[in-house]
């Protein structure tokens, strides 16, 4: 899940600069859905695009703007070496040739850092289609293949697609706003979590049985089960890979 403070600040910076979403995503040559995802905390721009957005929004002091007292990064406020490095980066970035050289070095070191991290699913980043309209962990949402975008994510090799979750019915295992990975399949086993289509909407639930009756249940006890019935059939969209 993306940094909510970052997305909020990016949106604020665009407002402050007097630019519309369309003006920015057309200038940068990106899709509206991807740009909207950055401003809504679904995903984040890469380092190069982030710095270019800061330049477009006339943000001179990136650190002060994004790392204010309301963020967890405030603990670095008095770190002299970090502040000095940011100041140097800001000065160097004023020259296009130096800016590109610094970004290449930064991306190289960042990729080395990622290689050392234990990433969820222990997978490397790869392109994967993501449904931008979320499946509901709560009340249902309608999803369609027309609302998909390919994104770079640490998806497991068996995953066919990603889908963002809306709601808290599967917390604490799956949180509101999280992107989960799914394997398309028409049937899953009892006890598995999947994406289900019911009455035209998509739900993220666990396939379960209560008193011998098949149903969809939530991890959050505040939500009641959805029982199978002949008048409103439930279809399996895919299995959530946990």
pLDDT at 71: 45
Q: What is the pLDDT of residues 39-85, one digit of tens each?
A: 877 778 877 788 888 889 988 777 667 765 444 444 444 455 666 67
For 126-241, the fitting CATH number among 2.10.109.10, 1.10.10.10, 2.60.40.1930, 3.30.1540.20 is 2.10.109.10
Burial of 67 (0-12, 13-18, 19+ CB in 10 A): buried
Q: Read off the pLDDT of each residue in 151-175 and give the average, rounded to a whole number.
A: 86
**Residue ranges matching CATH 2.10.109.10 in the chain:** 126-241
Domain 4-117 annotated CATH 1.10.260: yes
CA distance 165 to 178: 5
Q: What is the pLDDT of residues 94-129, one digit of tens each?
A: 777 777 777 778 777 777 665 554 444 445 678 999
pTM above 0.75, yes or no: no
**Residue ranges matching CATH 1.10.260 in the chain:** 4-117
CA distance 114 to 126: 13
């Amino acid at each position: 899940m993306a940094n909510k403070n970052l997305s909020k600040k990016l949106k604020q910076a665009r407002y402050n600069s007097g630019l519309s979403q369309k003006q920015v995503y057309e200038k940068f040559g990106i899709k509206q859905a991807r740009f909207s995802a950055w401003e809504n905390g679904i995903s984040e721009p890469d380092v190069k695009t982030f710095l270019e957005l800061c330049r477009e929004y006339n943000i001179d002091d990136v650190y002060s703007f994004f790392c204010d007292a309301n963020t967890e990064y405030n603990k670095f406020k008095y770190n002299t070496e970090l502040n000095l490095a940011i100041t140097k980066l800001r000065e160097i970035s004023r020259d296009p040739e130096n800016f590109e050289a610094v970004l290449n070095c930064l991306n190289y070191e960042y990729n080395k850092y990622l290689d050392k991290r234990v990433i969820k699913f222990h997978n490397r980043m790869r392109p994967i289609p993501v449904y931008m309209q979320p499946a509901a962990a709560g009340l249902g949402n309608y999803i369609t293949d027309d609302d998909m975008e390919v994104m770079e994510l640490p998806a497991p090799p068996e995953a066919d697609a990603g889908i963002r979750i809306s709601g808290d019915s599967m917390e604490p295992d799956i949180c509101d706003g999280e992107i989960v990975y799914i394997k398309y399949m028409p049937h899953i086993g009892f006890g598995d979590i999947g994406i289900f289509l019911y009455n035209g909407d998509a739900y993220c639930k666990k396939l379960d049985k209560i008193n011998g009756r098949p149903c969809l249940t939530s991890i959050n006890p505040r939500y009641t089960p959805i029982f199978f019935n002949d008048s409103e059939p439930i279809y399996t969209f895919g299995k959530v890979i946990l």
